[in-house]
Amino acid sequence: MTIAIFGAGVMGETLLSGLLRSGLAPGEVVITERRADRAAELEAKYGVRALTNAEGAAVADVLVFVVKPQDMTALLAEIGDQIAPGNLVVSLAAGVPTQAIAAGLPEGTPVVRVMPNTPALVDQGMAALSRGAHVTDEQMERAMSLLRSCGRAIEVPEGYQNAVTAISGSGPAYVFYVVEAMIEAGVVLGLPRETATELTVQTLFGAATMIRETGTHPTVLREQVTSPGGTTAAALRTLDDHKVRAAFVSAIEAAARRSRELAET
């Protein structure tokens, strides 16, 4: 089986490196790139072949589209008639429905839509996959295994993808936003920035690990930290006074709404 990754940007390279770390041989993966200097860089770094889009479509059994949404139409026009019937297409193009992709491909082509996120760069990504028409269970598992090479993967109905985009696609930015605020608060309180950063990052990592490994509801974990009349209670009261929880809900709703708008353009 040959996997062709169409798009050699950050996410394309992230997926490529994840696949190779997961055990695939360089000869089993190709990547497409128009710029000669970038193609040479990838070939030297990973030992894979960098091809044109047409060449990639001709040799691939699984085609992974990691292009910008606005470039999808041109890509389909270029390679749509070169894809062998039954070859699996996996699209990481945000907001582009499986039906729109399938319309530019041979009849019956199975298409899986993916919303990844940037922690895939450190093998801690969260990818949500949705199957289009004609995707078999075996093909879906194949797509899932591709994304598991750089993190976790789940299957969701395609109708959930706007919500997924708002939660996990954009989610790392919300976390970075909170981390920035906590570090700045530490500096205001007199801590060296390096110390405030280490305290904040490890606290975040530890809290997330507790949720995952204990399976305990976050409300219960929060209550375990919050002593009556203590420092945590005072801090949480202030957050509630500023309606921080409501602001997060409104922000995520705004992200989902924008995702729908982009999908309709």
Would you say domain 169-264 falls under CATH 3.40.640.10? no
Mean pLDDT in consecutive groups of 10 residues from the start of the chain, 265 residues: 92 93 94 91 95 93 94 93 90 93 93 96 95 95 96 97 96 98 98 98 97 97 97 97 97 94 80
Question: Residue 85 has what pLDDT?
Answer: 80
Radius of gyration, alpha carbons of the chain = 21
- The answer to whether 89 touches 111, Cβ cutoff 8 Å, is yes
- Token reading at 144: 């899932």
Residue 251 class from Cβ within 10 Å (0-12 exposed, 13-18 middle, 19+ buried)? middle
Q: Where in the chain is the domain with CATH 1.10.3730.10?
A: 169-264
What are the start and end residues of each CATH 3.40.50.720 domain in the chain? 3-156
Question: What DSSP designation does 169 have?
Answer: I
Would you say the C-alpha torsion 232, 233, 234, 238 has a positive or negative sign? positive
Q: DSSP E strands: which ranges in 109-191?
A: 111-115, 125-131, 151-155
**Of residues 150, 151, 116, the one with CA closest to residue 130:** 116
Q: How far apart are CA 83 and CA 80, in angstroms?
A: 6
3-class DSSP assignment, residue 125: strand
Q: Quote the pTM value.
A: 0.91
The pLDDT, as a whole number, for residue 34 is 86
DSSP code at position 81: G
Token pair, residue 255, equals 């992200």
Q: Which of 87, 93, 98, 59 is nearest to 75 (CA)?
A: 93
pLDDT, residue 8, reads: 87
The whole-angstrom separation of Cα 163 and Cα 199 is: 31
Give me the CATH topology for the region 3-156: Rossmann fold (3.40.50)
